[in-house]
A = this chain, B = another copy of it.
């Protein structure tokens, strides 16, 4: 039986978009995640109100995430 986090397993090493509760979006290469949906991205970039900011490596806390989508 498939579980919802399986969609992230298939995305390891690939680009994903993470939408946050504060309205910003982080795009990056999915390195790791856990059951709380804490997410580690590499070569990450934040988009907020059409501005882009390079973040490099970033750990996103799971409880700030609305959704994650493979790019």
Q: Are A65 and B57 in contact, with the CB atoms below 8 A?
A: no
Q: Are B57 and A69 in contact, with the CB atoms below 8 A?
A: yes
Q: Are A32 and B58 in contact, with the CB atoms below 8 A?
A: no
Q: How many residues on A have C-beta within 8 angstroms of the other chain's C-beta atoms? A: 37
Bound-state CA distance A5–B22 (Å) is: 22
A-B contact pairs, 15 of them (CB 8 A): A3-B32, A5-B40, A5-B59, A7-B32, A7-B57, A7-B58, A7-B59, A21-B64, A22-B66, A55-B67, A56-B69, A57-B69, A61-B65, A61-B66, A64-B65
Residues on A lying within 8 angstroms of B by beta carbon are 1-8, 20-22, 26, 31-34, 37-40, 44, 55-70
